[in-house]
Each structure stands twice: as C-alpha cells, then as structure tokens.
Amino acid sequence: MTDNSPIERLKKRPDFLLAAAAAHAARGAVVVQARDREDGAALVRVGFTATRRIGGAVVRNRAKRRLREAARVLLPLHGRPGHDYVFVARAGTTMRPWARLLDDVKSALIRLAPT
C-alpha cells in the first residue's frame, strides 16, 4: 500500500465540497473524507477543517495542527494515490491522547482504502 506519491494541500472551497459529498469515516475524535479524483494523476491532496462549533481560534488552530501532523505521518503509509482527503476536527481532537489520535486516523484511512 506504500507509495511515493507527492502530497499537496487542498485550498479551494469547491474541492472541499466535493470531498464532503464522497465517502467518509468517523473514528473517535476525527472524521476523514476521501474522494477519488479519477483524473489519472498520482497526486494526493489533503485539507483540514475545523468549524466554530469546537471552540475559538486557539482550539481550532491546535486541532488543525495535530491533524496535519497525523496526516504527515500516516498518509504516505495508508493514503491512496489520486485521492483527495479532508480531515474534519471534532470536539475532542485537541484533548485526545496523541497515540489514540493516530489510531483514529489510521483506522479511518484503512477503512476508506478500497480493498
């Protein structure tokens, strides 16, 4: 499952909306959405979202930083080329122990990978 596909950040709102309409997996403190772009490129793109519901700017920024770090560690191992991933922070993202957060992300990525 390992590959060396380049990873880019997702920045456009339409891309987020498309990913939200695709498959998603909720695991503990995180929701992961994944969409196959079907354009033939091996590029993997990833975006992060934290809404106002989970707290103020400090909480939202910290949640996105932890998710970004988790994605940096796990996406090269469990990501599928040609997909867009969106990580959505939930209320417990900032308080989850680091090992448990990694488990959540890993489990969600494996669930979303086609067999």
Using the rule CB under 7 A, is 91 a contact of RNA? no
Rounded distance between C-alpha atoms, residue 95 and residue 92, angstroms: 5
Residues making up the chain, counted from first to last: 115
Using the rule CB under 7 A, is 12 a contact of RNA? yes
The single residue among 49, 78, 108, 112 that binds RNA, judged by CB under 7 A, is: 49
Using the rule CB under 7 A, is 75 a contact of RNA? no
Rounded distance between C-alpha atoms, residue 63 and residue 91, angstroms: 9
Evaluated on CA atoms 92, 98, 102, 103, the torsion sign reads negative
Complex with RNA: residue 52 or 115, whichever CB lies closer: 52
CB of 115 to RNA, least distance (A): 29
The single residue among 21, 41, 42, 72 that binds RNA, judged by CB under 7 A, is: 72
